[in-house]
Structure 1
């Protein structure tokens, strides 16, 4: 077998936390604000010009001139400014092809701060300690980051295994760097593992058809939950004391920052748990079967209208929060690429009646779900009882074995594309 058939290119990302001094953090903040302002100026310039005058060359000339004439825009490196232009043009291309909406103005407080570093050879990543690495950031200098994954650096770097670029991203816990890594690895052999169905729920996040269940505790411990409750009450009190139309005070903004930090900590722990569980599943099973869940529809509000108000609105709001915290969509995405990397496959089946049907006799009888956790078949010829989540996982696997696998869904379309009606006759 030739090398072209035995190996394949794989692209993946790795995110690490940066350790910055106050001066370095201020420099990266200036670059992020300049990048956001560059996007907004480019958007105003692009939408203002007639269509026949829009071109990448003209936009490149305008960006170069702006960086020379406006001092604070020069804080953004030239490669970062070119990356803003490429990202903006790609956003319009996705809009023209119906994959996304039109690019919009980036507000200061609603847009995550980020800076693109497109030149991988300029990063000069090096490992200096078992837990630390160094990376070069343009106009900032050498910066330390937490080394938690082996990266192709030094003598290992070649045309196949290399860091093609990176992106600086800021969240409530500080600045992080996301590396874009390209590697050449052997093609995975078909996974010899068994088939398994997975049911995703709120009480039991992941229930497998072989009886395995993956659970987790609260993402925040007791003192952290108490601190979050105190901060939310404090923010509500300070918000009530603010006069209508008055700008948010620094104290209120500081409280909001502390709340975001706690939520970001919980999200980081949730991501860590999801990565560990999905990796274990992808390495153990050859075929993973899940439901195709319409999560957006499941998170709909129950408020209703003034004429027809909804019922059990607080309960539905709590259920929506619980579903959002589980992040089922991200779990499915992780399973998709991890099963493919291990030689397995991810299959989706219809989600209708998987929790109401008995996995032993295959019939749906009213009143079988006596509780959230127990399933008791009311069929006189069956009478099987067991865990409800395990029963649903078995039904999911049975649907795949019966040939009810669904075809892959195309990428997300924009609102304009979804509303567009195709002509019934050819012109």
Structure 2
């Protein structure tokens, strides 16, 4: 097989770890040490003169800190060096305008994580149909859920291998995210039909051929009632705290229960999105979506003191519904899945796709009679149908008319990133 037909693919795979209580404590200690290491680097950076902010000097400072502070010694040396590289890369991203400047990481608002830079140190093996094992430095041999085949054992090589991993903790416990590199056959162009997609709140995904993809609530009625009860309990306990009083263990436990239910809902939403986008990418060769600016759509309608907003509560509910559907994540999944299967994804301008009639092409006031029904008020047309189907047909029509948007070559430079660090400090 020639090299022209092969393509190198890099992807991630996340699996749930089965840690013992002792293993959980060790992983927690490493995550706190990694966060502390980041904060010490940040303080060192702000303290040192610009000409001494080099990778060599920072590495020497880290070595000295790990030798002087026992708490930092629980973090493996390679993980500490990964924190250093990540911090310097964060400043490079800031100077290039891709992100804001790195800052202090608080204990409560920071995701607990530990990096494993070298994949060969994991020594991954499959021990059961549903379980695999990996070696974590200073934690030991741990089990993880085997839900996807990994290039280990005889299939591992220079081109197909696990290059590293990252331990991440959420409300459901510790997970391991593998970084996988694979050499695969370049996909042939997808011969499937073209399809337009309209995303919404009532109907999450509507296709231009009339197909729709819907889902139930992410939490059952019993789970929703429990979540409401926990939120009310947390509000009561928080209301009775005096200013400056330390948060009680009971309140922390209530917060953990709330986070667990929300994490369960997010996991179910991700599962539905992955299955739905995979089906679409396998069926259609060209996928067309709207270029939505979601951050503007979920802005608050509260307004100001001089000009207060209207229907603030209704707008807040709509914002929560839009954020819950995660339209941007759906588009991201479709982007890489269509490319992996030989298809393409295009974006078209979003204005008036829900108001324009897909039958005659005219935008007549009053045609959108309700959230679900579209009836064209043009006397010469009179087309009627589902409103989401009508919008999806308009999305596909814009692409066929040659109005697909061309991706920008680069992102706009952040104004905050410009003023944080002058070019001389690079």
Superposition TM-score tier, normalisation by shorter sequence:
over 0.9
- 1:419 Cα offset (Å): 8.1
2:172 aligned residue: 173
Q: SS at 1:26's partner residue?
A: helix
Instruction: Give the TM-score of the pair, scaled to structure 1.
Output: 0.97
Alpha-carbon distance in structure 2 between the residues aligned to 1:31 and 1:281? 41
1:307 aligned residue: 306
Provide Cα deviations, 1:321-359, integer angstroms capped at 9, x if missing partner. 000000000000000000000000000000000000000
2:224 aligned residue: 225
2:360 aligned residue: 361
Query: Does the Cα contact within 8 Å between 2:100 and 2:417 map onto a contact in 1?
Result: no
1:335 aligned residue: 334
Alpha-carbon distance in structure 2 between the residues aligned to 1:362 and 1:416? 41
Count of aligned positions: 419
Query: Does the Cα contact within 8 Å between 2:5 and 2:186 map onto a contact in 1?
Result: yes
1:251 aligned residue: 250
Alpha-carbon distance in structure 2 between the residues aligned to 1:229 and 1:101? 36
1:423 aligned residue: none
1:68 aligned residue: 67
Alpha-carbon distance in structure 2 between the residues aligned to 1:413 and 1:106? 26
Q: How does 1:206-221 map to 2 (within 5 A)?
A: 206-221=205-220
Alpha-carbon distance in structure 2 between the residues aligned to 1:372 and 1:409? 33
2:151 aligned residue: 152
Closer/same/farther in 2, CA of residues 350 and 418 from structure 1, 3 Å limit:
farther
1:425 aligned residue: none
1:40 aligned residue: 39
1:280 aligned residue: 279
Alpha-carbon distance in structure 2 between the residues aligned to 1:412 and 1:230? 44
- 1:197 Cα offset (Å): 0.2
Query: Does the Cα contact within 8 Å between 2:372 and 2:387 map onto a contact in 1?
Result: yes
Instruction: Give the TM-score of the pair, scaled to structure 2.
Output: 0.97
Closer/same/farther in 2, CA of residues 12 and 67 from structure 1, 3 Å limit:
same
Closer/same/farther in 2, CA of residues 285 and 418 from structure 1, 3 Å limit:
farther
Closer/same/farther in 2, CA of residues 314 and 14 from structure 1, 3 Å limit:
same
2:161 is aligned with 1:162: yes
Query: Does the Cα contact within 8 Å between 2:97 and 2:418 map onto a contact in 1?
Result: no
Alpha-carbon distance in structure 2 between the residues aligned to 1:417 and 1:411? 17
Query: Does the Cα contact within 8 Å between 1:101 and 1:414 map onto a contact in 2?
Result: no
Structure 1 residue runs of 4 or more that deviate by more than 6 Å after TM superposition: 417-420
Q: SS at 1:11's partner residue?
A: strand
Closer/same/farther in 2, CA of residues 418 and 293 from structure 1, 3 Å limit:
farther
Alpha-carbon distance in structure 1 between the residues aligned to 2:179 and 2:110? 22
Alpha-carbon distance in structure 1 between the residues aligned to 2:98 and 2:67? 35
2:123 aligned residue: 124
Provide Cα deviations, 1:64-112, integer angstroms capped at 9, x if missing partner. 1111111110000000001001100110000011111000100000000
- 1:416 Cα offset (Å): 1.6
Unaligned runs of 5+ in 2: 420-426
- 1:155 Cα offset (Å): 1.2
1:424 aligned residue: none
Query: Does the Cα contact within 8 Å between 2:95 and 2:417 map onto a contact in 1?
Result: no
Alpha-carbon distance in structure 2 between the residues aligned to 1:411 and 1:392? 30
2:297 is aligned with 1:298: yes
2:109 aligned residue: 110
Q: SS at 1:160's partner residue?
A: coil
2:20 is aligned with 1:16: no
Alpha-carbon distance in structure 2 between the residues aligned to 1:240 and 1:62? 44
Closer/same/farther in 2, CA of residues 414 and 103 from structure 1, 3 Å limit:
farther
Alpha-carbon distance in structure 1 between the residues aligned to 2:411 and 2:166? 24
Query: Does the Cα contact within 8 Å between 1:114 and 1:170 map onto a contact in 2?
Result: yes
Query: Does the Cα contact within 8 Å between 1:209 and 1:390 map onto a contact in 2?
Result: yes
Closer/same/farther in 2, CA of residues 153 and 419 from structure 1, 3 Å limit:
closer
2:187 aligned residue: 188
- 1:413 Cα offset (Å): 4.4
2:424 aligned residue: none
2:140 aligned residue: 141
Closer/same/farther in 2, CA of residues 73 and 248 from structure 1, 3 Å limit:
same
Closer/same/farther in 2, CA of residues 299 and 309 from structure 1, 3 Å limit:
same
Q: SS at 1:185's partner residue?
A: strand
- 1:3 Cα offset (Å): 2.3
Alpha-carbon distance in structure 2 between the residues aligned to 1:410 and 1:168? 33
CA root-mean-square deviation: 1.1
- 1:409 Cα offset (Å): 3.4
Alpha-carbon distance in structure 1 between the residues aligned to 2:413 and 2:43? 21
Q: Which moved more, 1:69-78 or 1:242-251?
A: 242-251
Provide Cα deviations, 1:196-221, integer angstroms capped at 9, x if missing partner. 00000000000000000000000000
- 1:415 Cα offset (Å): 3.4
Closer/same/farther in 2, CA of residues 227 and 388 from structure 1, 3 Å limit:
same
2:270 is aligned with 1:271: yes
